[in-house]
């Protein structure tokens, strides 16, 4: 195979290379990271940043879970890597990789990721579920540093990560979520967030970006929650005769479990808006669920506020779609990408390594075929051509 190399300059990845064929596909992916600044000193850099990013992504796709894994992958797969970049000096050691990721600007890396996903998927449609996840083994005993917490935006329909931000030390999701929303193009989408994100400023940010919201309502919004509960209790007692509602009931059965959900949407909320002045508020949603397992029955009632003016039959599925972020992202990151076992913990390295794993997650998801994500990752380790096809997709 003959590969043509054309050197280009003038970006943060100065000295990067563009080629033909499969190489062009790889550069198409890396183009979105051209503005990512290399934290190393100016002058001769033995391992260019674009080569480092490509190495790490290919290794993680093929099953690498640590920097030691990635370094060994680089040693064994140099011929594959050179199909896309020169790698004139080979690949970095695991310590060198850790140092690069520790000093790489995490927020800038995440913005590049968001730009790449936007080019990959276009405008997001349907539900965007936002939720946080703690990287449990990223804590440091020395200095008593707590594990880092990442907040991710997940497109429920496409099952792709749209973006992520690290929650700052001594901060919380309430501060991180607006930063994440600011990065994303969400016009026309429906943003769902758990009770932590049920804040006026967050609702305002979503509405200002021409999207809708469904926010879980719990005790952190004390008077609002109390007013809703009292009103619902009164109306439920007289069959909702004094207000405008729509209702929907679904029954699901799986693995010996029967779950019945009754969704009630209260459309007449002018009285509530007059008292609380929530940006864009159009309805209150109540979901009553009963779960029967063997001879045991569990009941739960949950409340939500929303800017949507939809019937219960349409809002019920929106509420349930939020759980995709738990079932199709957090669970996958733990079970397939071994998130909770990852001991990367220095400076920006945990956040940056999570971003690389989210990149790998998205590419594995988009791979054709019916294999499970676990099996696709194994095939990527076994078959160089399949692995190369993932970054060319």
Tens of pLDDT, residue by residue over 290-331, are 988 878 888 999 999 999 999 999 999 999 999 999 999 999
Contact between 212 and 190 (Cβ < 8 Å):
yes
| Chain mean pLDDT for the chain | 87
Work out the pLDDT band at 14, boundaries 50, 70, 90. Answer: very low
Q: What is the structure's pLDDT at 138?
A: 56
Question: CA 54, CA 59: separation in Å to the nearest integer?
Answer: 8
Q: What is the C-alpha end-to-end distance of the chain, expressed in Å?
A: 21
Mean local confidence (pLDDT), 111-121? 91
Contact between 283 and 267 (Cβ < 8 Å):
yes
Using the Cα atoms of residue 154, residue 158, residue 160 and residue 165 in order, give the sign of their dihedral: negative
Mean local confidence (pLDDT), 169-188? 89
Whether 42 shows a pLDDT value over 70: the answer reads no
Q: What is the structure's pLDDT at 9?
A: 34
Work out the pLDDT band at 136, boundaries 50, 70, 90. Answer: low
pLDDT tens profile 61-102: 999 999 999 999 999 999 999 999 999 999 999 999 999 999
Taking phi first (over 0 means left), then psi (-120 to 50 degrees means alpha), and beta for anything else, what does residue 280 get? left
Whether 18 shows a pLDDT value over 70: the answer reads no
Q: Where are the alpha helices (DSSP H) in the chain?
A: 22-30, 49-61, 67-76, 78-81, 94-103, 106-121, 173-183, 200-208, 222-237, 270-276, 312-321, 324, 331-335, 349-366, 373-382, 384-392
Work out the pLDDT band at 3, boundaries 50, 70, 90. Answer: very low
The strand pairing partners of 253, in sequence order, are 258
The pTM for the full model equals 0.88
Q: What is the structure's pLDDT at 13?
A: 42
Q: What is the structure's pLDDT at 220?
A: 83
C-alpha dist (Å) from residue 239 to 63, 243, 245, 263, 310: 56, 9, 10, 14, 20
3-class secondary-structure state, position 37: coil
Cα–Cα nearest to 214, from 290, 326, 123, 320: 320
- Provide, rounded to the nearest whole percent, the portion of the chain with pLDDT above 70: 88
Question: CA 10, CA 16: separation in Å to the nearest integer?
Answer: 9
Q: What is the structure's pLDDT at 146?
A: 64
Q: What is the structure's pLDDT at 144?
A: 54
pLDDT tens profile 215-267: 999 988 889 999 999 999 999 999 999 899 999 999 987 777 888 999 999 99
Mean local confidence (pLDDT), 12-27? 41
Beta strand pairing call for 160-166 and 17-18: unpaired
Here the tokens at position 245 are 């509602």
Work out the pLDDT band at 143, boundaries 50, 70, 90. Answer: low
What DSSP designation does 140 have? Answer: B
């Amino acid at each position: 195979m003959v590969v043509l190399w054309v050197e280009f300059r003038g970006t943060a990845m100065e000295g990067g290379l563009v080629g033909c064929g499969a190489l062009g596909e790889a550069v198409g992916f890396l183009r979105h990271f051209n503005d990512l600044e290399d934290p190393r000193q100016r002058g001769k850099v033995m391992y260019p940043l674009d080569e480092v990013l490509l190495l790490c992504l290919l290794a993680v796709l093929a099953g690498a879970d640590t920097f030691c894994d990635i370094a060994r992958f680089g040693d064994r797969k140099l011929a594959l890597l050179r199909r896309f970049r020169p790698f004139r000096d080979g690949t970095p050691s695991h310590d060198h990789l850790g140092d690069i990721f520790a000093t790489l600007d995490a927020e800038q890396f995440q913005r590049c990721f968001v730009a790449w996903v936007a080019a990959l998927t276009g405008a997001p449609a349907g539900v965007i579920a936002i939720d946080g996840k703690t990287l449990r083994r990223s804590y440091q005993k020395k200095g008593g540093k707590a594990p880092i917490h990442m907040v991710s935006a997940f497109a429920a329909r496409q099952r792709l990560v749209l973006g992520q931000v690290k929650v700052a030390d001594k901060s919380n999701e309430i501060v991180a979520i607006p930063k994440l929303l600011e990065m994303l193009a969400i016009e026309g989408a429906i943003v769902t967030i758990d009770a932590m994100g049920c804040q006026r400023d967050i609702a305002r940010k979503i509405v200002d970006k021409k999207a809708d919201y469904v926010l879980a309502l719990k005790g952190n919004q004390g008077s609002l929650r109390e007013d809703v509960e009292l009103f619902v209790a009164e109306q439920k007692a007289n069959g909702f005769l004094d207000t405008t509602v729509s209702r929907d009931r679904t029954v699901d059965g799986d693995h010996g479990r029967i779950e019945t959900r009754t969704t009630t949407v209260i459309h007449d909320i002018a009285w509530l808006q007059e008292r609380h002045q929530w940006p864009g508020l159009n309805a209150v949603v109540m979901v009553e669920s009963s779960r029967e397992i063997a001879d045991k029955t569990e009941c739960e009632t949950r409340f939500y506020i929303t800017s949507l003016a939809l019937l219960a039959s349409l809002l019920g599925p929106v509420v349930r779609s939020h759980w995709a972020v738990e079932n199709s992202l957090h669970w996958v990151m733990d079970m397939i990408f071994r998130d909770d076992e990852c001991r990367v913990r220095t400076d920006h390295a945990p956040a940056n390594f999570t971003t690389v794993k989210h990149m790998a997650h998205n590419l594995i998801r988009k791979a054709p075929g019916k294999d499970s994500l676990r099996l696709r990752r194994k095939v990527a380790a076994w078959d160089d051509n399949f692995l190369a096809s993932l970054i060319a997709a």
